[in-house]
């Protein structure tokens, strides 16, 4: 995949995740600073934890501040424009989120493989990159993180990571492996959104 296209999609995913943070902050009636903080941790929280775990210094948004400007501009514009979220078609944000999620997982797996050789760890880093920011967001908002609910979310990330590492194992190029990861994650996540798929729950009888 062309690196400039991947970079653009990565910034797009960052913006979409930031929007989800802004919308949640709006429902919680936060002040502008709180809105930007929640948007920021949602957008770059997962990648930050990944880089710290891998020892990748400096962290990606310190090396490239375009991510910070992306979050700030997106947050401000969302606060100014999105006053009535009900006017937005219900599927737009989940679909955009799915695109961002798929790209984040692919980038996370790819970067992890560049720093260490374990496919298992790479898959975990992919899931962390895709879901970590949302976990931090939900914890700050005192909600159960989406990955711990019935949503087919982390599962899509895991399967995408498996596709990526298997492609590398069978000798395909990193570009093909990355594309297979993004495609698998995106297809599974979009299917879950379209058909309202969910995982079975574990419940103890009282």
Residue 151 has pLDDT above 80, yes or no: yes
User: How does pLDDT run across 70-113, given as a tens digit for each residue?
Assistant: 999 999 999 998 876 566 677 888 888 899 899 999 999 999 99
The structure's pTM equals 0.93
Do 133 and 41 meet the contact criterion of CB atoms below 8 Å apart? Answer: yes
C-alpha to C-alpha distance for 183 and 105, rounded to whole angstroms: 11
Residue 205 has pLDDT above 80, yes or no: no
* Residue whose structure tokens are 């002040």: 31
Which DSSP symbol is given to 151?
A: B
CA 120 to the chain's CA centroid: 19
Taking CA 107 as the corner, what is the angle to CA 143 and CA 119, rounded to the nearest 5 degrees?
Answer: 95
Average of per-residue pLDDT across 182-206: 90
Which DSSP symbol is given to 83?
A: S
Beta-carbon contacts of 138 under 8 Å, excluding residues fewer than 6 positions away, are: 144, 145, 146
């Amino acid at each position: 995949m062309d690196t400039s296209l991947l970079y653009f999609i990565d910034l797009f995913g960052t913006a979409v995740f930031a929007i989800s943070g802004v919308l949640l902050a709006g429902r919680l009636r936060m002040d502008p600073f709180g809105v930007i903080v929640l948007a920021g941790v949602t957008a770059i929280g997962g990648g930050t934890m990944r880089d710290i775990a891998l020892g990748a210094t400096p962290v990606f948004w310190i090396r490239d501040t375009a991510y910070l400007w992306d979050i700030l501009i997106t947050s401000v514009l969302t606060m100014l424009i999105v006053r009535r979220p009900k006017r937005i078609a219900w599927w737009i944000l989940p679909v955009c989120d799915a695109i961002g999620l798929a790209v984040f997982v692919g980038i996370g797996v790819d970067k992890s493989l560049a720093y260490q050789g374990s496919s298992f760890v790479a898959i975990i880093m992919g899931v962390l990159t895709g879901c970590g920011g949302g976990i931090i967001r939900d914890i700050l908002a005192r909600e159960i993180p989406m990955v711990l609910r019935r949503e087919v979310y982390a599962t899509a990330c895991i399967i995408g990571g498996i596709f990526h590492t298997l492609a590398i194992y069978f000798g395909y190029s990193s570009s093909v492996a990355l594309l297979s990861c993004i495609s698998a994650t995106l297809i599974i996540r979009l299917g879950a959104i379209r058909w309202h798929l969910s995982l079975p729950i574990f419940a103890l009888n009282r």
